[in-house]
Structure 1
């Protein structure tokens, strides 16, 4: 009888493999992010952790593929063939929640950097320029609007309370959440935006959120507002954001995600003094693999080997997240 196989398309420490093997002692576990490894192992893998572009050819396009569950190594699942996975009844679980600490830290790094002009002073340091640069803003007591109140949004709201901020949130249902003073539904976005000193996007990319924020939305924001996007680049109409920054419709932006990545050399965002750019690294942390494996993959595996569906971070195909 052929052993059941778990393919982890990542380079993970052997100590984590040992922990996983304790849960599935009779299984074959293969690890490695190089294509030469996963393209050989994917066709007969029952479970794949860490979906890679191109895997569809070796799994879903094969009539006899044993694939029944995918655990992604990212929170976003918009790059996966969701319709085909759904039609094949493949369980899909994401790494949602793994990023809550590092991304919320990045959000506040961007907010504080823009507010206290740290980006300006770094430029001044490079040219040995001693200049006040009209520093006057502070973050305490301001209003933050968090678009998307999943794990990242909730951790951001919690930290915001330490700064005495008023926290407004937006989620599809409008259901209340701890640390959020007022929750808005997605249909009330235009009511939320004018109130905010900071607008933070932590939404997943779906059909509903695609190009959600454009010219109209930036016009509704305060001229003194800062815009932060760590969600997905395609949630924002980037050319409208550039125009809003140029015209002074908003005060500045902190961007970790973009419509096209890497951000092109010709993008005006690179040269703007009121913009801080990070290269889609907001979720990077030394604890990433540990959290995916110990908090999500292994608990789900325990249920899976009992014949139950993996339930932690299970993706709803109808919602796209």
Structure 2
């Protein structure tokens, strides 16, 4: 009788492999990031951890035994979701593993833009002693957090340490600790004029596609900053560039873009009021630990007992 099979398309420490093996001792476990390690095992893998683009062809050809995918990323919009849904495959995301590193990145960008750190770094490279017209401070300002999941909640907690007024946006409008007031996304335009910082942590869905465009940037204060660590396609990039060039907003911290890597000809690279990071806001030394220990292992224990993995189970209707 053929063994049930788990494919983990990432490199894992032996300790994690042993812990997983203790849960499914009768299974064959394939571990390794290199596709030569897992390629020939895809057809009969029941569980896959970490989806790779080259796996898609096998899935579409309908010759996979796959029942559950543990995504290595929080966002799942790049996956062939329609095919997964048609084949009734469970997907669990890595949502939640990024709360600390991304909230740190959000405040790094906000503080750098507010206190002109990016300008001073450029001045240092040319040995230029210049004030850079520094005047703003972050304490006491109003921050809008679009998306109050794990990242939004952690960011709200930090914002309170700076004495900020925190406005949250999520569809349920359910109150949350450290959030002073909560709104639905369809109320966004009403709130933008009072915000000093607008932070996007939303997933990419049909609802959030091009949520930010010319109209929304015009509503923002000329002194306000826009931070996007959600998904690039939530923003009409040309409209953001125009808003930055025309000083409709004071600046932007951007970790995600409509097309990645960001093209070398993009005007964003040269704008003095922009800080760019290469989709690294969620990078952390604890990434693997959080995916495996906090999400995959508890879900695997449920799965083996006949239950649907419940932690971060993707809702196909919502798209996340």
Q: Same fold (TM over 0.5)?
A: yes
- Size of the aligned set, in residue pairs, is 320
2:247 aligned residue: 248
For the pair 1:131 / 2:130, whether they are aligned, the reply is yes
2:120 aligned residue: 121
TM-score, with normalisation over the residues of structure 2?
Answer: 0.98
- CA offset at residue 14 of structure 1? 1.7
2:28 aligned residue: 28
Hey, what's the Cα distance between the residues in 2 that align with 1:13 and 1:4? 22
- CA offset at residue 60 of structure 1? 4.2
2:298 aligned residue: 299
1:15 aligned residue: 15
- CA offset at residue 312 of structure 1? 0.2
The answer to which of 18-27 and 28-37 deviates more is: 28-37
- Uncovered stretches (5+) of structure 1, i.e. residues with no partner: none
Q: Is the 8 A contact 1:100 1:151 kept in 2?
A: yes
Hey, what's the Cα distance between the residues in 2 that align with 1:58 and 1:82? 14
TM-score, with normalisation over the residues of structure 1?
Answer: 0.98
The answer to which of 130-139 and 95-104 deviates more is: 130-139
The answer to which of 279-288 and 33-42 deviates more is: 33-42
For the pair 1:57 / 2:54, whether they are aligned, the reply is no
Equivalent residue runs for 1:1-321 within 5 Å: 1-63=1-63, 65-321=64-320
Hey, what's the Cα distance between the residues in 2 that align with 1:178 and 1:231? 22
Hey, what's the Cα distance between the residues in 1 that align with 2:16 and 2:22? 10
* Residues 114-141 of structure 1: CA deviation (Å, up to 9, x unaligned): 0000000000000000111111111100
- CA offset at residue 55 of structure 1? 0.9
Hey, what's the Cα distance between the residues in 2 that align with 1:256 and 1:157? 19
- CA offset at residue 36 of structure 1? 2.2
SS in 2 for 1:59: helix
Structure 1 outlier segments of 4+, above 4 Å: none
* Residues 10-47 of structure 1: CA deviation (Å, up to 9, x unaligned): 11222211111111111111112222223212111000
Hey, what's the Cα distance between the residues in 2 that align with 1:38 and 1:11? 12
Q: Is the 8 A contact 1:60 1:85 kept in 2?
A: no
Hey, what's the Cα distance between the residues in 1 that align with 2:6 and 2:260? 30
Aligned CA RMSD, in angstroms, stands at 0.9
Hey, what's the Cα distance between the residues in 1 that align with 2:297 and 2:191? 39
- CA offset at residue 51 of structure 1? 0.6
Hey, what's the Cα distance between the residues in 2 that align with 1:210 and 1:9? 30
The answer to which of 116-125 and 2-11 deviates more is: 2-11
The answer to which of 26-35 and 141-150 deviates more is: 26-35
SS in 2 for 1:241: helix
* Residues 226-246 of structure 1: CA deviation (Å, up to 9, x unaligned): 000000000000000000000
Hey, what's the Cα distance between the residues in 2 that align with 1:178 and 1:27? 43
Q: Is the 8 A contact 1:167 1:182 kept in 2?
A: yes
Hey, what's the Cα distance between the residues in 1 that align with 2:298 and 2:211? 35
Q: Is the 8 A contact 1:173 1:186 kept in 2?
A: no
- Uncovered stretches (5+) of structure 2, i.e. residues with no partner: none
